[in-house]
Amino acid sequence: MNKIITAALLIFLGSSAFALTPQEQGLAIAIEGDKRGEGYEDSKVNLKMVLIDKKGRESARDMRVKGLEGVGEEGDKSLMIFDTPRDQKGVAMLTFTHKAKSDDQWLFLPALKRVKKISSRNKSGPFVGSEFAFEDISSQEVEKYTYKYLRDETLDGMDCFVLERIPTDKYSGYTKQISWIDKAEYRALKVEYYDRKKTLLKTLLNKDFKQYLDKYWRPALSEMVNHQTGKSTRLIYEDYSFQVGLKGKEFTKNSLKRAK
Amino acid sequence: MLERLTWMLVRHPWSVLLVTLLFVGVSGYGAKNITLNADYRAYFSHDNPHLTAFEDLQDQYNKVDNILIAIVPEDGQVFTPRVLSMVEAMTEEAWQVPYSRRVDSLTNFQFTRSEEDDLLVSNLFEDAQLLSVDDIESGKNVALVDPVLAGNLVAFNGKATGLNLTINLPGIDPAKEVPEVVGYVRDMVAKYEETHPDIGFYLTGVVMTNSAFPEASEQDVQKLYPVMILVILVLLFFSLKGLWGTLATFSIVIFSGVCAMGLFGWPGVSVTPTTLAAPVMIMTLAIADCIHILMSYYQGIARGLHKKNAMVESIRVNFQPVMLTSLTTAIGFLTLNFSDSPPFHDLGNIVCIGVLAAFGFAMLYLPAIMMLLPSKKISDEFAQSSKMQFISDFVIKQRTKLLVGMSTIIIILLALIPQNKLDDNTIEYFDWSIKFRSDSEKISETLTGIMSINYSLSGGGEMNVADPKYLATIDAFAEFLRSQPEVRHVNSFSDVMKRLNKNMNGDDESFYRIPDNRELAAQYILLYELSLPYGLDITNQVNGDKSATRMMVQLDKISSAEVIALDGRAVQWLKDNAPVHMLTEGASTNVMFSHITERNIKSMIGGLVGALFLISFIIMIAIKSVRLGLISLVPNLVPTGMGFGLWAIFDGQVGLSLSVVMGVTLGIVVDDTIHFLSKYVRAKREMNLSSEAAVEYAFNNVGVALSSTTLVLCAGFLVLTLSPFALNAEMGLMSALTIALALLVDFFFLPPLLLWLDKDKVGSEPRSQDNKELPEANKLSATL
């Protein structure tokens, strides 16, 4: 069975190397996944974040996210604009993801009318009180992890690669992640996050995938469950649009104040 | 019927022995299912309102189960590169502690400041080994005045610091999880102790409290049980004056304890140190049954009877009193089921099983085993003692003085009862031999308060924690709490907001105040949240939808009454100064334990009154007299009251275990009364003696037996005072005191009372009337 997969993979990747190590195999899968997401240029989506505590009490906030695909060695850029709660309406966060170093982030506070830079270590903390850390939702550049192919498994009837990836950033909150990537479309269906003491912390399930522009798959629902606190967070994505003509100058520190 | 059974037993001793061993073996095997409980919550019923409030608070914010590691350098120098870098290393390593959620220390404290108009958030000390004297000095200046750190993770005088680990126990199997965490932390600390011999390390916190329970349990088993066995052997040897009777009784004592724990353990239970007092009590109670039977048996042999005849006769004479006393004792212990604290249910039920088992063994197994052992002629040791005659003469002669004198003493002692103060303190539950106690006291002395109260203060709606009015109110509340003498440290979210406001305004001290604009505050919170690193978020202080914050108050080691009083003042302050939605009561383990005794007493009262009725009814049936049954209430109730009166003089602190002492002793105290009254009644009715002569008869017949069983019982319960677990030690002491007082009352107060209230009337009318009153009872007791 393994041989068949390896063989298939070799043909698939057009690689000439004979026996791939699990590390090479894992990297190859990650690269392929990244490749399939390439070329979207830019995107817009409305995002509803629902926080659910141990007792099932919910609280929600709305935001919009604009993304700009990185060119060449540049990472992706994103702009997140908060619509609710009322007191945080108009807060905008700009992120430059980098392949080799820590991301840069700025936050515009309308009440203060100023842009503030955010410490680069922040990305492992809970994002606005949710069970997502910023590193979970930011652009998943290939270079941010080392990989290892573990095994094949079916998940919800789909054939998947099971991949281990270890963050390269020392400020990451995780020691490793295990992800289930379906073989047909290279979508991350499920991710398990292991904390600094190597115990299972959270599980992410991406659901209701839809294909846009006949190419790009995006989940309509991402659900993160924290096993240690019993809390969970749902991200509901609505009205995805791609290639709407966003420009690089809309993603600068100065443009933050005008972000709407 | 009974005689035939006993004859059968004495004729087939080997079969009886075999069946007994089989029974003990099978039931005792269940003891292997018993585990040691490691969760203080075991002491609370599921519907305890203070527990519910606390759990609710923990659900809203993060859990507060913690381990606090205090670090106390001998030379008082915390702010040196060496100590700081050690704290830094420990902080880093502590993230690896099983189930840890968060680690807070002096070094990873998130210090915020303004730099080039940006909010800079960083560890207060980083790479401490490389820091210059100036760097350390400026960090020290921050630490010693920061309201979050000073008095909490660093001593006000800067001579001690601490590492607080927030532990999120899954709670699936606390008996395994707690030792796992504590073991890991102790190993970690031991490593640092070795490399830093000049630094003291001390551990306290909720998880350490949990861990102290099974540790006390283990010590109980290791310390108490051997002493108990020794005490039993000595007592038996002296009261039975023979090796064989001692051995036979000893086997019953052990069998009863094993059976009770085993039968109780079969379903698989976890036990607290409280539960482990049960075998000691069972062993003590089992002795009394055997002594009664063996004394009659030896007396029979001394009279020249054959072994078998002597035994059959002894069982015939003792069956009813031993059954009655076992029954009343069992009823007394069953009242513990009314306790609000589940471990006492277990204690009561186990002892109940044990007492009934001991009765069974004494009636069925003892006759058989004695046949297999050599009998020995007993001299007149077991004949009546002249001392009893002396006491009897004294009591009859001085009856008026005794009646008045004893009444006075009793009334004074009863009047002293309210002087007792309710006090439960989880730290003082453990004596100094348990490391948790000494460590906690040391931490209280050097670093911070080891007791705490939490207030979850609601803002009345989503994101309302950013409301300047809300922030101003909690800030004033924090100030109010800080002004209370018992309060060591207050952690309030308003301090974070004041600091952020200052930082956002170029670190201008004049901005160290609540932001005056709601949006601004909300956006500061967002910026701050996005700036905090892994594990150091604000979810431990602010709830999910930002509608409430938690105020954490550290206290000195104070009594329950003081905790309740402080909480009362805090609630009153909120009533006077805060909007209705902010009204709340304090919640914490300390608050839970502060209320536990009062709740327990209230819940016990119903059960005790019921048991008292039942026991009095049994006595009325047994002695076939309503009037004497009513009189018996006095010696049954008074000893407990006198005990608490004496306690008020010598100690005055009543904790959880004392609130169940009446349940423990009621059934035992009653035994003395039953024995005394039944002999008294027999003398009056069967021998037609006068009250005076009946008192004398009762003294001569049961005086020695009562004295020796009281001695045995007191000795047994006093063994519990060796327990490192205060609940057991106090329960043992108070029970022994009560049992001793019961004998005093039965000897020096009951007889004068009888001579006064049960005066001989002309003729025998009253007595026959008594008999007519309870014809049903007569039949009942005849069939027993």
Q: Quick one: tokens of B127?
A: 């790479």
Residues B605 and B403: their CA atoms lie apart, in Å, by 29
With an 8 Å Cβ cutoff, are A87 and B463 in contact?
yes
Predicted confidence (pLDDT) at residue A153 exceeds the cutoff of 60: yes
pLDDT band per the 50, 70, 90 thresholds, residue B775: very low
pLDDT band per the 50, 70, 90 thresholds, residue A2: low
Residue in A109, A129, A171 nearest the CB of B539? A129
> For a pLDDT cut of 70, what percent of chain A falls above it?
91
The end-to-end CA distance of chain B, in Å, is: 11
pLDDT tens-digit series, residues B529-550: 888 887 888 888 998 788 899 9
CB B499 within 8 A of CB B512: yes
What is the average per-residue pLDDT within B258-287?
Answer: 87
Residue with tokens 């820091």: B131
User: For residue A86, which residues of chain B lie inside 8 Å, CB to CB?
Assistant: 463
Letter string b/e over residues A9-25, b meaning 16 or more CB atoms within 10 A of that residue's CB:
bbeebeeeeeebeeebb
CB B691 within 8 A of CB B754: yes
Instruction: Write the CA distances from B641 to B409, B493, B631, B726, B728, integer angstroms.
Output: 11, 49, 16, 21, 20
Provide the residue type at B295 as one letter: M
Predicted confidence (pLDDT) at residue B674 exceeds the cutoff of 90: no
Nearest to B51 by CA among B588, B571, B727: B588
Residues B218 and B434: their CA atoms lie apart, in Å, by 11
Residue B188 sits at the chain A interface (C-beta within 8 Å): no
Predicted confidence (pLDDT) at residue A5 exceeds the cutoff of 70: no
A125 CA: distance to closest CA in chain B (Å): 4
With an 8 Å Cβ cutoff, are A125 and B535 in contact?
yes
Cβ count within 10 A of residue B80: 15
pLDDT band per the 50, 70, 90 thresholds, residue B421: confident
From A81-90, B277-286, B368-377, B565-574, the region with the lowest mean pLDDT: B368-377
**ipTM given for this complex:** 0.85
User: For residue B534, which residues of chain A lie inside 8 Å, CB to CB?
Assistant: 121, 124-125, 133, 171-173, 196
Predicted confidence (pLDDT) at residue B772 exceeds the cutoff of 50: no
Residue A124 sits at the chain B interface (C-beta within 8 Å): yes
With an 8 Å Cβ cutoff, are B535 and A228 in contact?
no
Residue with tokens 């045995």: B712
CB A54 within 8 A of CB A231: yes
What is the average per-residue pLDDT within B171-195?
Answer: 90
With an 8 Å Cβ cutoff, are B544 and A59 in contact?
yes
Residues facing A188 on adjacent strands: A181
Q: Quick one: tokens of B464?
A: 């309302």
Residue A113 sits at the chain B interface (C-beta within 8 Å): no
Residues A255 and B499: their CA atoms lie apart, in Å, by 29
pLDDT tens-digit series, residues B216-225: 888 888 888 8
Letter string b/e over residues B294-323, b meaning 16 or more CB atoms within 10 A of that residue's CB:
bbbbbbbbbeebebbebbbbbbebbbbbbb
CA-nearest residue to A118 within chain B is B531
pLDDT band per the 50, 70, 90 thresholds, residue B761: low
- Give the pLDDT score at B776: 36
Q: Quick one: tokens of A145?
A: 């992890």
CA B425 from centre of chain: 10
- Give the pLDDT score at B19: 87
CA-nearest residue to B112 within chain A is A119
- Check whether the bond before A85 is cis (ω within 30° of 0): yes
- Give the pLDDT score at B308: 85
Strands A114-117 and A104-109, bridge-based pairing: antiparallel
User: For residue B543, which residues of chain A lie inside 8 Å, CB to CB?
Assistant: 53
**What is the DSSP track for B507-557?**
T-GGG-S--S-HHHHHHHHHHHHHH--TT--STTTB-TTSSEEEEEEEE-S
CB A231 within 8 A of CB A51: yes
Task: Please give the angle made by the CA atoms of B746, B718 and B590, to the nearest 5 degrees.
Answer: 110
Residue A85 sits at the chain B interface (C-beta within 8 Å): yes
Q: Quick one: tokens of A116?
A: 């503030």
With an 8 Å Cβ cutoff, are A85 and B462 in contact?
yes
Q: B304 CB contacts (<8 Å, ≥6 apart)?
A: none
Q: Could you tell me where the DSSP H helices lie in B150-277? A: 174-195, 206-240, 243-265
- Give the pLDDT score at B779: 34
With an 8 Å Cβ cutoff, are A109 and B534 in contact?
no
A139 CA: distance to closest CA in chain B (Å): 17
Residues B403 and B405: their CA atoms lie apart, in Å, by 6
Mean pLDDT (chain B, rounded):
86
Residue with tokens 């000073």: B150
Residue B22 sits at the chain A interface (C-beta within 8 Å): no
User: For residue B518, which residues of chain A lie inside 8 Å, CB to CB?
Assistant: 87
Q: B418 CB contacts (<8 Å, ≥6 apart)?
A: B648
Residue B117 sits at the chain A interface (C-beta within 8 Å): yes
With an 8 Å Cβ cutoff, are B536 and A125 in contact?
yes
pLDDT band per the 50, 70, 90 thresholds, residue A26: confident
Predicted confidence (pLDDT) at residue B781 exceeds the cutoff of 80: no
Residues B423 and B656: their CA atoms lie apart, in Å, by 8
Mutation pick from A106, A107, A115, A119 vs chain B, by most beta carbons of B within 10 Å, is: A119
Please give the CATH topology (third level) of the domain spanning A36-258: outer membrane lipoprotein receptor (LolB), chain A (2.50.20)
Q: Quick one: tokens of B108?
A: 């990873």
With an 8 Å Cβ cutoff, are B533 and A54 in contact?
no
pLDDT band per the 50, 70, 90 thresholds, residue A18: low
With an 8 Å Cβ cutoff, are A129 and B529 in contact?
yes
A149 CA: distance to closest CA in chain B (Å): 26
Predicted confidence (pLDDT) at residue B203 exceeds the cutoff of 90: yes
pLDDT band per the 50, 70, 90 thresholds, residue B381: low
CA-nearest residue to A173 within chain B is B534
A2 CA: distance to closest CA in chain B (Å): 36
Mean pLDDT (chain A, rounded):
84
Q: Quick one: tokens of A82?
A: 């908060």
pLDDT band per the 50, 70, 90 thresholds, residue B385: low
pLDDT tens-digit series, residues B322-373: 888 899 899 989 988 988 889 999 999 999 999 999 999 999 898 888 888 8
Residue in A114, A128, A228 nearest the CB of B101? A228
Residue B92 sits at the chain A interface (C-beta within 8 Å): no
B522 CA: distance to closest CA in chain A (Å): 6
pLDDT band per the 50, 70, 90 thresholds, residue B456: very high
User: For residue A57, which residues of chain B lie inside 8 Å, CB to CB?
Assistant: 544-545
The crossing angle, in degrees rounded to 10, of helices B726-748 and B386-397 is 70
In total, the C-beta contacts within 8 angstroms joining chain A to chain B are: 125
A217 CA: distance to closest CA in chain B (Å): 29
Residue with tokens 């409430």: B548
Predicted confidence (pLDDT) at residue A51 exceeds the cutoff of 70: yes
pLDDT tens-digit series, residues B31-79: 888 888 888 888 888 888 999 888 888 888 877 789 999 999 999 889 9
Output DSSP code: residue A179: E
Helix/strand number for chain A, H first, E second = 3, 13
Predicted confidence (pLDDT) at residue B186 exceeds the cutoff of 60: yes
CA-nearest residue to A52 within chain B is B544
The end-to-end CA distance of chain A, in Å, is: 53
- Give the pLDDT score at B770: 41
- Give the pLDDT score at A260: 65
Residues facing A151 on adjacent strands: A162
User: For residue A171, which residues of chain B lie inside 8 Å, CB to CB?
Assistant: 533-534
B462 CA: distance to closest CA in chain A (Å): 8
Predicted confidence (pLDDT) at residue B688 exceeds the cutoff of 80: yes
Residues B672 and B704: their CA atoms lie apart, in Å, by 11
Taking only residues 187 to 226 of chain A, the set having a beta carbon closer than 8 angstroms to any beta carbon of chain B reads 196-197, 199
With an 8 Å Cβ cutoff, are A88 and B545 in contact?
no
User: For residue A124, which residues of chain B lie inside 8 Å, CB to CB?
Assistant: 533-534
Residue in A53, A128, A199 nearest the CB of B59? A53
A202 CA: distance to closest CA in chain B (Å): 13
pLDDT tens-digit series, residues A58-72: 888 899 999 888 877
Main-chain dihedrals φ then ψ at residue B483, nearest 5 degrees: -80, -5
Residues A29 and A34: their CA atoms lie apart, in Å, by 9
B206 CA: distance to closest CA in chain A (Å): 18
CA-nearest residue to A115 within chain B is B118
Instruction: Write the CA distances from B45 to B467, B478, B599, B765, integer angstroms.
Output: 38, 32, 11, 54
Output DSSP code: residue B101: E
Q: Positive or negative, the Cα torsion across B426, B432, B433, B436?
A: positive
Residue in A53, A85, A114 nearest the CB of B463? A85
What is the average per-residue pLDDT within B317-323?
Answer: 85
Residue B118 sits at the chain A interface (C-beta within 8 Å): yes
pLDDT tens-digit series, residues B600-640: 888 888 888 888 888 888 888 888 888 888 888 888 889 99
Residue A105 sits at the chain B interface (C-beta within 8 Å): yes
What is the average per-residue pLDDT within B697-712?
Answer: 85
Radius of gyration, CA atoms only, chain B:
33
With an 8 Å Cβ cutoff, are A88 and B522 in contact?
yes
Strands B653-654 and B421-422, bridge-based pairing: parallel
Nearest to B600 by CA among B413, B739, B423, B431: B423
